[in-house]
Structure formats: structure tokens, C-alpha cells
């Protein structure tokens, strides 16, 4: 019988790293490389991703599928799993995977496979299926779009210098440095559409010291320094953004080239080839290269979003035209509000969050040098270069089709934001529970309210404690969370709040334990993925993969992830299965905020929003009732 250990472990919290390099002694087990830059000084001693044991993965897999299955279905799955673990084929696959992990120079046995399957080889549009967005906290002193855009770009430049020079202090969790390899993709990089799998390219910052700006679907190039190499001040950048706004005029370009980046990747591949062929002199390729090599894209939208939903929609998708989705982009609206859209293929959200926090924090505290507030000779500053592509009927047809498909795709979706102000991290800590586990259990209770069963839930755990690490799945639905949620829905159970609290505590403990396993590279999903990849032609697919439970338990009805920052007013991404929800969340001191995305035809987003609020309140009531009983016993 495969058994899951019941060890209780402490939660792992992501520490807020310092942006400045600080000379410190190497953490235990790590060696600083004197020849490497400060940012990468521990890189060589960061461990490689482990290969879990078959027995451990099998036990965890059975434990996580049990709450999703009826007893007879679970018995069938248990037989399939135990037969697989005992089979010669499983031992062979495990040995092959271990040998792959031990290959010289193999920093991460999973990374190349995962980057291809989850990102580069994924052919659906990056919006809504891959990209993620941040909504910036408002800047009350910069309501003008040009001023706001200038300040953000100016605040980004010191962070770029820290990254490109290698002086940025490595992020750490519990004193252990995280892999910083993906930071090279933060600036001056672009994703490229290629069949059957996309590629990415990093450009030299010194040779491409500019940004690309989009306004009214028209592209402009703005240098970040003058002819002498002096970095432009915020006032000079503001002038350039105002010039872009004036040059773009009031009429949007009828054939927005940027819309092609929001299409199916194979169709974008074909359209890009057509775009290049439309100018035999190479001008279109040259202009694309200027966009792709830019530090970042700045999209100046002509809308003025007010509600949380409006600005979330605008930052997540926009209108599909005034964008270039193959790169990170800042988005600034006509009322001075702003946000960030992340290109997800080469890096996850923690590095881009760190960059955005750096920008917003230094602006808020006044610790960024914006330069002189006036411009001595505005006429000496060359005007932004407008890029005018040569378009033939073939390219125009591609653009028209791409915009039509984008509009159809977005029209099928809905987005809701719940900014719950009943409590936040302070109350969670008062009751001595992990905030993340608490929020995940609120989701489980809400899903039970809506569907009467556990939700198959993906929570992202970063694995950057390993070289080239990205993510592993925290399977948040557990037997313990199911028992607690069912009790919460039983009116008679509320007569004994201490029992409800005990069930809640057990569910929190299980979530913390699985979260730690996932962060340690000991989860279920990536290992099973790797074993399957080791099958050779002609070898039979093991029953564990044929069993309907395998597909059911990874059909992520709730795709969840937490990024919390006082500098963000929201963030989110799309659902990953047609009948599921994207459910990003942030936990502040006095609030919890969820962004819910889903297909409109399901018409359940508003209901889930209501159930989340209801569930969050009921958790507080339950713990307050238990606390009263406990105090009464003293």
C-alpha cells in the first residue's frame, strides 16, 4: 500500500529581495564564484532539479486524486498506479529520466521540454491563453499619460542597468539564492513565431538603447539617450511621448500590424513571412527588428478606464490592435493609469513583479533621479521615428483576419474582480494560519458552494531554487479540504465550531505540506510528465496514463496563483480549460483580491465571485466562533 507521509512543515514565503548588490557571506551549501557577476555569483552552486522516487510520486498522486473520485473509481486508479510502480517499464522510465538528469551540462531535466510544451510549442494566441497582466497602483501626481509613461520608463532604466550589468542582488528564499538565469529575458528580447515551435532572441542593450511606442495602432521608436550617450530625463521623455501622441493623431491605423502578434502562432508565422516579403528592400524586416530589439514596448491607449474590471480588461487584452504581444509592454491610459503585460514564454511572474515593484516603489518614495524638470533646448531633441510598414493585399488580409479572430475570442470571455475588504493578512496571522493556504481553502469552499464537489485546482509553485527552475503544481484540493468544506456546508456542524476549526487546521497543514513538496521539486505533475516523455517508439503507454483519472485530475478547473504587492491594484490571466476559471489572487493586510476569468458561455464567473465573498466571510465567522468557545474554556 502506497502511503503519504503526514509530516507537518512550515510554509515557504517568497522574500522581497533587495535590488542592490550587498556583500554577504555565502549561504550554507553555496559557494560564491569570484569570476561571476554579483547577480550570478551563486548560480553554479544552485542545485539541479531532482527526480523524485516512483513510490513518493505515486503515493502523492493517489492522495491528491482521492477527493475527486468515487470509491470504485479510486480503487481502479489505485490498481493502475500500484501496477505501474511495480512494473519493469516504470523502473526503466525512471532510470532513463535519472540518466537524463545526470547528463553533463544538464542543468534541468525538465526545462527544455516544459518550455516547448507549455510555451514555445503552444500554438493558441498568447492572449488570452499565456500572457498575464499587472494593474499598477495609481500615481496621484501623474494623471497626464505622457508624464506617467515618462516616469515609468525613467524608473525602469536603473533596474535595467542592475540586471544588464549583473549587479542585481539575487533573490533568496529562507537565505537560499534563487536561479537568476531568466532575468536575461527581461529587457531587449522578443518571442518569434516559428513552426512548429517558437523561438526567442535577446538583443544587445548598448546597440538598441530605445523603446518602441504604440499609439493609435502606429509604431514609433524613441531613443533613451541623446547623440552624446546622455540618458534622457523624464521631462525629455515626456516631450517625446507628447510628440508621439500628436503625430499619431485622432485616427487609428486601419491596418494595425501589432494585431498579428495576437493571432494563432502558426497563422502569425505565415503572416510574418508575408509581411517580410511585402518589402523586398528589407524595410519591413528592419522596422520589425527595431520593435523586437527595444527595451520594452510602451502602449499609449486612448481609453480612460475607471473600474477594476475595465482597467483589467484593458491591460490583459486591450483591443488587440494597439499592442505587440511578443514583448513585455507597459500600458498607459489617457487618464494616467497604467499597467504591465507580461510575455510569459521565457520567464515567470516573480522577476517581472520585482521589476514593477522597483519602478513603482522608487517613484512613490521619490528615490529615482528623474533629471532636470525643464528642457533647455527642446528643438535639439530629434523627433520620434514613426515606422510605416509596406503592406500589400496579402498582409492586409492577414491583419483583417487576425483582428476578426481576436474580437471573436475576446467576446467569448468574461472577467470579474472581487476586492474583498472583510479582512486580509492581519486577521489570518491573528488566527495563526498561512494566508496562502487560507485563501486556497476559501476557493475550495466557494467551488463546493457552486458545484457541490472539490474543484480540480492548480496552484503555481516556483522552483527557482533549482537551476533553470520554473514551476511545479500544488494540487490544492485534498481529502482534508473536502472534509472541511463539506462540514462548512452542513448547518448542524456549526454547532461545534471547534470541530470546524480542527478540520480547517488539518486542511491548512496538508496544503502547506504539499506546497513545500512542490517548491522542493517533489510534486506529482512534472515527474509524471517526465516519465511519459521517456517512452520510446513502440513501447506501450502505461495504464496510469490511460486511466481517466489521469486526465480528470489535471483538468485544471481552477488555475490559481498568488502575487501580492502594495504597488499593484490587480493582476490576472486566462483560464486553462474551457469549463474552468483563471483565478489569480493577492493578499493584502486588510483585503483579499481575486480576478476571475472564464468563458462567457459558462456564465458562472459572477456566481463564483459571489461564492468567494460568501466563503471568505464564513471562514472568519467560523474562526471567531471557535475563538469565543476557546476563550470561554479559559
Q: How far apart are alpha carbons 444 and 170 in whole angstroms? A: 35
The total of other beta-carbon atoms located within 10 Å of residue 114's CB is 19
Chain center to CA of 418: 19
**Radius of gyration over alpha carbons of the chain, in Å?**
25
Could you give the CA distance from residue 273 to residue 289 in angstroms, rounded to a whole number? 14
Burial (CB < 10 A; 0-12, 13-18, 19+), residue 238, is buried
What is the CB neighbour count within 10 angstroms for residue 579?
12
Provide the 3-class DSSP secondary structure of residue 173: strand
Contacts of 194 (CB under 8 A, 6+ apart): 269
* C-beta separation of 320 from 208 below 8 A: no
Cα–Cα distance measured from residue 43 to residue 33, given in angstroms and rounded to the nearest whole number: 8
What is the distance between the alpha carbons of residues 606 and 603, in angstroms, rounded to a whole number?
Answer: 7
With beta carbons less than 8 A apart as the criterion, state whether 238 and 332 touch: no
Cα angle, residue 441 at apex, residues 439 and 442 outer, rounded to 5°: 65
Please identify which of the residues 328, 344, 448, 527 carries the catalytic annotation. 344
Kindly provide the b/e burial profile for residues 588-618, where b requires at least 16 CB atoms within 10 angstroms of the residue's own CB.
Answer: beeebbbbbbbbeeeebbebbbebbbebbeb
For 266-411, list the strands marked E by DSSP. 297-300, 329-332, 338-342, 385-387
Alpha helices for 412-478 (secondary structure H): 425-430, 435-451
DSSP-derived pairing of the beta strands 329-332 and 297-300: parallel
Question: How far is Cα of residue 328 from the mean position of the Cα atoms in its chain?
Answer: 12
Exposed (0-12), middle (13-18) or buried (19+): which is 183, by Cβ within 10 Å? buried
User: Do the beta carbons of residue 110 and residue 101 sit within 8 Å?
Assistant: no
**Any residues with CB less than 8 A from the CB of 289 and at least 6 apart, and which?**
none
**Please, which residues bridge with residue 300 across strands?**
215, 332
Residue with cell 502569425: 268
| Contact call for residues 196 and 35 (beta carbons, < 8 A) | no
Region of 172 please: left (phi>0), alpha (psi -120 to 50) or beta. beta
Q: What is the largest CA-CA distance in the chain?
A: 85
Query: Three-state DSSP class for 327?
Result: coil
Q: How far apart are CA 619 and CA 631, in angstroms?
A: 18
> In angstroms, rounded to a whole number, what is the distance separating the alpha carbons of residues 375 and 372?
7
Q: First-to-last CA distance in the chain?
A: 43
Note if 610 is an active site residue: no
Active site positions, annotated: 344
Amino acid at each position: 500500500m502506497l502511503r503519504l507521509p503526514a509530516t507537518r512543515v512550515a510554509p515557504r514565503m517568497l522574500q522581497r529581495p533587495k535590488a542592490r548588490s550587498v556583500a554577504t557571506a555565502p549561504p550554507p551549501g553555496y559557494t560564491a564564484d569570484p569570476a561571476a557577476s554579483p547577480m550570478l555569483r551563486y548560480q553554479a552552486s544552485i542545485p539541479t532539479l531532482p527526480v523524485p522516487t516512483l513510490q513518493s510520486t505515486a503515493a502523492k498522486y493517489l492522495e491528491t486524486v482521492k477527493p475527486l473520485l468515487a470509491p470504485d473509481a479510486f480503487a481502479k486508479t489505485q490498481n493502475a498506479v500500484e501496477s505501474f510502480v511495480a512494473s519493469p517499464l516504470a523502473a526503466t522510465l525512471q532510470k532513463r529520466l535519472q540518466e537524463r538528469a545526470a547528463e553533463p551540462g544538464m542543468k534541468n531535466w525538465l526545462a527544455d521540454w516544459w518550455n516547448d510544451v507549455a510555451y514555445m510549442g503552444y500554438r493558441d494566441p498568447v492572449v488570452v491563453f499565456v500572457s498575464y497582466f499587472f494593474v499598477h497602483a495609481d500615481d496621484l501626481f501623474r494623471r497626464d499619460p505622457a508624464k506617467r509613461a515618462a516616469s515609468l520608463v525613467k524608473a525602469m532604466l536603473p533596474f535595467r542597468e542592475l540586471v544588464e550589468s549583473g549587479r542585481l542582488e539575487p533573490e533568496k528564499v529562507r537565505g537560499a539564492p534563487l536561479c537568476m538565469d531568466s532575468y536575461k529575458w527581461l529587457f531587449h528580447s522578443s518571442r518569434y513565431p516559428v513552426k512548429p515551435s517558437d523561438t526567442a532572441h535577446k538583443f544587445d542593450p548598448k546597440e538598441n538603447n530605445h523603446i518602441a511606442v504604440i499609439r493609435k495602432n502606429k509604431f514609433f521608436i524613441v531613443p533613451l539617450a541623446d547623440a552624446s550617450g546622455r540618458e534622457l530625463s523624464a521631462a525629455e521623455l515626456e516631450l517625446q511621448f507628447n510628440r508621439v501622441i500628436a503625430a499619431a493623431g485622432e485616427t487609428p491605423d486601419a491596418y494595425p500590424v501589432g494585431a498579428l502578434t495576437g493571432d494563432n502562432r502558426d497563422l502569425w508565422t505565415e503572416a510574418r513571412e508575408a509581411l517580410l516579403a511585402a518589402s523586398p528592400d528589407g524595410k519591413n524586416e528592419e522596422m520589425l527588428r527595431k520593435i523586437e530589439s527595444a527595451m520594452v514596448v510602451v502602449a499609449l491607449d486612448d481609453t480612460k478606464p475607471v473600474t477594476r474590471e475595465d482597467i483589467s480588461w484593458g491591460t490583459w487584452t486591450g483591443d488587440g490592435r494597439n499592442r505587440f504581444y511578443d514583448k513585455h509592454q507597459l500600458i498607459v491610459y489617457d487618464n494616467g493609469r497604467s499597467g504591465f503585460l507580461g510575455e510569459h514564454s521565457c520567464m515567470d511572474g516573480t522577476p517581472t513583479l520585482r521589476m514593477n515593484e522597483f519602478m513603482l516603489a522608487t517613484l512613490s518614495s521619490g528615490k529615482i533621479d528623474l533629471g532636470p524638470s525643464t528642457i533647455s533646448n527642446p528643438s535639439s531633441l530629434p523627433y520620434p521615428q514613426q515606422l510605416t510598414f509596406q503592406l500589400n493585399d496579402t498582409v492586409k488580409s492577414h491583419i483583417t483576419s487576425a483582428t476578426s479572430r481576436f474580437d471573436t475570442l475576446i467576446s467569448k470571455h468574461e472577467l470579474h474582480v472581487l476586492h474583498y475588504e472583510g479582512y486580509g493578512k492581519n486577521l489570518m496571522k491573528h488566527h495563526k494560519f498561512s494566508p496562502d493556504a487560507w485563501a486556497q481553502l476559501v476557493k475550495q469552499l466557494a467551488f463546493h458552494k457552486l458545484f457541490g464537489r472539490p474543484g480540480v485546482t492548480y496552484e503555481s509553485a516556483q522552483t527557482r531554487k533549482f537551476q533553470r527552475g520554473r514551476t511545479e503544481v500544488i494540487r490544492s484540493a485534498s481529502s482534508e479540504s473536502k472534509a472541511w468544506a463539506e462540514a462548512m456546508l452542513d448547518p448542524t456542524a456549526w454547532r461545534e465550531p471547534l470541530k470546524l476549526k480542527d478540520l480547517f487546521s488539518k486542511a491548512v497543514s496538508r496544503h502547506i505540506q504539499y506546497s513545500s513538496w512542490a517548491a522542493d521539486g517533489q510534486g506529482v505533475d512534472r515527474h509524471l510528465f517526465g516519465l511519459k516523455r521517456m517512452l520510446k517508439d513502440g513501447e506501450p503507454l502505461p495504464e496510469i496514463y490511460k486511466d481517466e483519472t489521469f486526465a480528470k485530475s489535471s483538468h485544471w478547473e481552477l488555475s490559481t496563483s498568488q502575487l501580492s504587492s502594495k504597488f499593484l491594484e490587480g493582476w490576472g490571466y486566462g483560464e486553462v480549460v474551457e469549463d474552468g476559471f483563471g483565478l489569480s489572487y493577492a493578499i493584502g493586510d486588510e483585503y483579499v483580491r481575486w480576478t476571475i476569468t472564464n468563458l462567457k458561455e459558462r456564465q458562472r464567473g459572477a456566481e463564483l465571485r459571489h461564492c468567494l465573498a460568501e466563503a471568505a466571510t464564513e471562514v472568519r465567522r467560523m474562526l471567531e466562533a471557535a475563538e469565543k468557545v476557546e476563550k470561554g474554556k479559559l
